Amino acid sequence: MVGSLSEIQEEFFQYIGDIVYATMTTVDSKGRPRLRVLVAVWQVVDGRSIGWLATGGCEE
């Protein structure tokens, strides 16, 4: 069990520093699966790690 980010921060940032893309699968209103490629952005704000996922998409 980890009590705080500071206990694993160095290892955590080494690990996530190599992550550039992520994927996410959603289902549209007709029940069809859609795969999205996301860009992962990581930062530390006030000692807390925050991950942002972004994508550019288009609607049919």
pTM passes above 0.85: no
Phi, psi for 33 (deg, rounded to 5) = -70, 145
Interatomic CA distance for residues 38 and 53, integer angstroms: 6
> For 7-39, how does the pLDDT look when each residue is reduced to its tens digit (9 = 90+)?
888 888 788 777 778 888 989 999 999 888 888
20 and 38 Cβ atoms separated by less than 8 Å: no
